[in-house]
Amino acid sequence: MQETTQQNDAIDSRFGYTGTDDESPPVEPDHTVNLLLQPRENIPIPEFYFEPTGLHIDVGDTVRFNLPTPHHNVNAYHPGFGFSQRVPDDVPPFSSPVLTQGDYWMYTFDQEGVHDIMCAPHEVFGMVGRIVVGSASGPGSNPVGEAPGGDQARPPEFTAALVLTDPAMNPQNIVDQGSVTWSDIAAESKRPMLTPVQEE
Ligand SMILES: [Cu+2]
């Protein structure tokens, strides 16, 4: 426990730790997630995604989020941001800044349970992830739309809701598999639900 406490000093429970390309991290991460995009055929909206999209970690583990592609962040589905609660009860409203290519962000997950996260700029396009810390438990283990929150709280919507509802992203499946990659998720669950303006 002593070691975990020391690690947490550099990583804020709300703001994490942001680093740039040429900066070595304050602690060695236990896991790495990449924030990526890839073009779609025939649709001018790329796929934006976390890789892996689902990840099982131990309580107290630190995850490093890398940005090989620009303009993403890591943002909790938390009532503090106006969303329904899809993180454990004692988790603060954590988020990274919006980052540029080559930046990274680190966060230590101290609470047991499901942590649903998104990239705020690309949430509506389905850029969401699920970090299962320890067990598949807590508010985030509820089906999308059934997590607690006030009257104004927004659940994940559009492609974000589809991805988080895909069978591969079932919290217990993430525990059983260890990690779920973007390619494990059905194409149907990645379909864009916002359509670009058609040119004449
Ligand atoms: Cu993004």
Residue 4 confidence (pLDDT): 47
Spell out a b/e string for 124-135, using b for 16 or more CB atoms within 10 Å of the CB, else e.
Answer: bbbbbbbbbbbe
109-163 per-position pLDDT tens digit: 999 999 999 999 999 999 999 999 999 999 999 999 888 887 789 999 999 999 9
Residue 6 CA, ligand 1 centroid: distance in Å? 30
Residue 19: pLDDT band (50, 70, 90) is very high
Residue 12 CA, ligand 1 centroid: distance in Å? 22
- Give Cα separations from 51 to 40, 48, 64, 107, 146 (angstroms): 17, 10, 12, 16, 26
Residue 68 CA, ligand 1 centroid: distance in Å? 11
**Six token digits for residue 134:** 């320890």
Residue 190 CA, ligand 1 centroid: distance in Å? 14
Report the chain's mean pLDDT, rounded to a whole number.
93
Residue 8 confidence (pLDDT): 62
Q: Is the pLDDT of residue 5 over 60?
A: no
Residue 182 confidence (pLDDT): 98
Helices (H) and strands (E) in the chain, counts: 3, 10
Residue 102: pLDDT band (50, 70, 90) is very high
**Which architecture, in CATH terms, is 2-190?**
Sandwich (2.60)
Region of poorest pLDDT, from 76-85, 135-144, 168-177, 188-197: 188-197
Residue 103 CA, ligand 1 centroid: distance in Å? 13
Residue 98 CA, ligand 1 centroid: distance in Å? 9
Residue 192 confidence (pLDDT): 93
Residue 174 confidence (pLDDT): 98
Q: Are strands 113-118 and 75-76 parallel, antiparallel or unpaired?
A: antiparallel
Residue 90 CA, ligand 1 centroid: distance in Å? 26
Domain-wise residue ranges, the chain = 2-190
